[in-house]
Structures are given as C-alpha cells and as structure tokens.
Amino acid sequence: MADNILEVNNLKKHFPINGGIFKRQVNSVKAVDGLNFNVKRGETLGLVGESGCGKSTTGKVLLRLLDATEGEVKFEGRDIHKLDKKDLRSLRKEMQMIFQDPYASLNPRMTVAEIVGEPLDIHNLAKGKEKEERVRELLDMVGLSSKFAKRYPHEFSGGQRQRIGIARALAVDPEVIVCDEPVSALDVSIQAQVINLMEDLQDELGLTYIFIAHDLSVVRHISDRVAVMYLGKIVELADKDDLYDTPKHPYTKALLSAIPVPDPQRQREKIILEGDVPSPINPPSGCTFHTRCPYAEDICKQEEPVFEEKGEDHLAACHFTDKLE
C-alpha cells in the first residue's frame, strides 16, 4: 500500500461495567470491537453508522483522548498508544479534532483570539505580535474577519462557531483532523458552507480527514473512501462510488436505501431493518448483524464473517455478499 498516514490494527475500546460489593468488573460495553483500516495521506475517510455504533469513540481513541483496550493506532509508523507523555504532546501537533456541537466545543469565557491562540501558547509556536498575526491569518483562512478576535463565542452563530473550532484545530498545522459530525448540528445551508470550507482547506494544506457522520449524503459528498460501522465493527470499507453503487454488505444496503431521494416520482425499494441495534454489552454471536439481517442463515449465528476483499479495494464482512446482487 502506498502512503498510509494512519494504520489501525485490531483496535478495541471496552468500557468496564463494575458492580457488586467489591466493584468487580462484571461486564463491559464493547464500544469499539476490533477495527482494522488504513487512512491514506491526503484522503478523506468517511465513517458512518447509527447512533451508538462507536463512531465517536473511534474518533477519540484514534487521537488517544481515550486509551485503547487493545490494538494499535500507527501514525506514520509509530503506535500512538505507546507514546510517552512528551511524545504524545508533540503528536497533538499532528492530529487534531473538530467537534459536533459548536456551542459546547468553545470555552464561553475565552475570546476568539484566546481560543485560537491557545494551541500556539501550549506548543510555544508563536508569541506576542507574531501570535496576533498568526491568529489573524487563521481567522482569515476560515473566512472570519480578524475584527472578531476580541469577541466571545456567544456572539457568533453556529456556523461561525464551527469555523472558530476549525481555526483552533488548524493552529498547530496538523496532518490529520478527526471531524466528529462537524456539520450535523448546523442548518443545511450552513452545512454546505462549512463542508466547502473544509474541502478548500484540505486542498490548500494537504490535510487528511477522518469524517465521522451519520448523514450519508454529506459523507458521499466529502469522502474519498467510506467505512460503515455496526456495533463497534467496520462491516464494509470501499471507495465511495463503489460503496454507494454496489454495496457488499446487507447493512450498508439497508442504510443506503433509507437516503431520501428528492424525486417524488421515483419508485424505490426501501429496506426496513427490524428491531433495534443489539446491546454492545452482549453483542450477538457470529455476525453481529444476523439478528436484523434479511439474508441471515444458520452460519451467520455461528461463524463471524471475515472482513476481506470482495472486490477491488472493497472490503466487507459478510457470508453472503454474492446474494446481494
């Protein structure tokens, strides 16, 4: 494989559940349960799935904002979960995050200049006049006037706040940005603006995005490749057009069939999944999707399907990929 900026091997994050008199660990929530994927330099990898499938946890574990239970995340060949404190600090300059809620992700007691300038202080990147200049430059990059620098977050709209959050992430000149549903809290018209901004920045700065979202249309628009998650596992990973045109996993197919089409005349077959997402505390045996899968047979309950190539650069975990077509 060519230039992988990020390699994820068997990544797991289990949250312990303690109970009983002695607070023993009685069980665990398997939020992320064995992820394997690579991210190429300069691409946008979309990560989609239902609520509670472990998307956001994945994002946090990738940045080591949470410690992994098992597995490794290699950034340019180094496992970030094995870094010591000092190396981790310098890693923070390489990997950044953009958050979902533009109201919660900015400290209400700091001005825009303080928020965007904080990373510069922490990593001693700029001081005094130089710092002011850099903050102005960053605000300019995200399309905000530098006269806003002295204002507080509550004086801005959601879209503007999200731009401030992006400017903060860009301050350290990162390589990878994990975007945790960056537009799902915004109006549709603002969503388009922010997405376009992110695309422009990617071209300009050569950024790599991991774009977490549940809106499949947005993901299709911005991603190069898309990974579909279900119950803490990636069930399908492929080039976006490949994935949207010829899904190789029944879950992906069901998700895609639920995208609204802006054409009332068009007839389409909607696959409605029955039941709820099973609990990640006791995930079903075999293929975790067998409880809701219209194609499920006995083998699905017993054997976990291998996550393997089903087409060119098209990975999926299903026993009956062939039946889908």
Which CB, 8 or 171, lies closer to other proteins? 171
Region binding other proteins by CB under 8 A among candidate stretches 104-112, 187-195, 277-285, 302-310: 104-112
Residues 6+ apart with CB under 8 A from 26: 17, 18, 19, 20
What is the three-class DSSP state of 157?
Answer: coil
Q: Does 96 bind other proteins (CB under 8 A)?
A: yes
Is residue 173 involved in binding other proteins (CB under 8 A)?
no
Enumerate long-range contacts of 249-252, CB under 8 Å, 24 or more apart: 249/289, 249/316, 249/317, 249/318, 249/321, 249/324, 250/289, 250/293, 250/294, 250/295, 250/318, 250/320, 250/324, 251/289, 251/293, 252/228, 252/316
Can you tell me whether residue 130 is helix, strand or coil? helix
Establish if 104 lies at the interface with other proteins (CB under 8 A): yes
Strands 307-311 and 233-239: unpaired
Among 26, 122, 258, 299, binds other proteins (CB under 8 A): 122
Whose Cβ is closer to other proteins: residue 56's or residue 288's?
56
# of chain residues touching other proteins (CB under 8 A): 32
Site for other proteins in 18-77 (CB under 8 A): 60, 63, 65
Residue 310 binds to other proteins (criterion: CB under 8 A): no
CB nearer to other proteins: give 79 or 118. Answer: 118
Q: Judged by CB under 8 A, which of 131, 151, 220, 221 binds other proteins?
A: 151
The reply to whether 216 sits near other proteins by the rule CB under 8 A is no
Give contact residues for other proteins (rule: CB under 8 A).
60, 63, 65, 88-89, 92-93, 95-97, 99-101, 104-109, 111, 118-119, 122-123, 150-152, 154, 165, 168, 171-172
